Amino acid sequence: MGLTASGYDLADKSDLEIQHLVKAINTIDFGNNIIQYFSKARTNRYPVNPYWPRGSCITAASFFINEDNKWQNFDDYLAFEKSANTSREFENPDFTRWIAQLPDFIKGIKNFKEYQGIWSAYQQLLTVSLPVYSSILAETERRINAFNQGSPNDAQVVFAPNLLQSPFAADNVSKNDTVFVVTTRPEISILIHEYLHPIFRQHRDLLIILIGTTDFNLMADTGKMAANGYLWDESIEAKLRVLEESLVRGISLALATGNADESPIMASWQADQGFILVPAIIQQAKIQPPTQNNLAEFLHNSIALHINKLK
> Does 111 share its domain with 209?
no
Crossing angle between the packed helical segments 32-39 and 102-110, to the nearest 10 degrees: 140
Greater confidence, 202 or 274? 274
Structural domain contains residue 138: no
Q: Give me the percent of the chain exceeding a pLDDT of 90.
A: 89
pLDDT digits (tens, 9 = 90+) for 231-244: 999 999 999 999 99
> Among residues 89, 108, 130, which one ends one of the domains?
130
Structural domain contains residue 270: yes
Structural domain contains residue 153: no
Q: What is the mean pLDDT of residues 82-87?
A: 95
Q: What is the mean pLDDT of residues 128-137?
A: 88
The mean pLDDT of the chain is 94
Residue 245 pLDDT: 97
Residue 264 pLDDT: 80
Residue 248 pLDDT: 97
Beta bridge partners of 178: 156, 175
Q: Is the pLDDT of residue 88 over 70?
A: yes
DSSP string across 182-246: EESS--HHHHHHHHHHHHHHTTHHHHHHHHHHS-GGGTS-HHHHHHTTS--SSSHHHHHHHHHHH
Measured CA to CA, the distance from residue 7 to residue 48 in angstroms comes to 17
Centroid of chain to Cα 86:
9
Question: Is 303 exposed, middle or buried, given 0-12, 13-18 or 19+ CB atoms closer than 10 A?
Answer: buried
Sign (positive/negative) of CA torsion 265, 146, 293, 244?
positive
List b or e across 40-50, with b for residues whose CB sees 16 or more CB atoms inside 10 angstroms: ebbbebeeebe
> Among residues 71, 103, 130, which one ends one of the domains?
130
Residue 183 pLDDT: 95
Structural domain contains residue 234: yes
> Among residues 130, 159, 191, which one ends one of the domains?
130
Q: Is the pLDDT of residue 261 over 80?
A: no
Q: Is the pLDDT of residue 153 over 90?
A: no
Q: What is the mean pLDDT of residues 221-227?
A: 96
What domain range is 75 assigned to? 2-130
Total of domains in the chain: 2
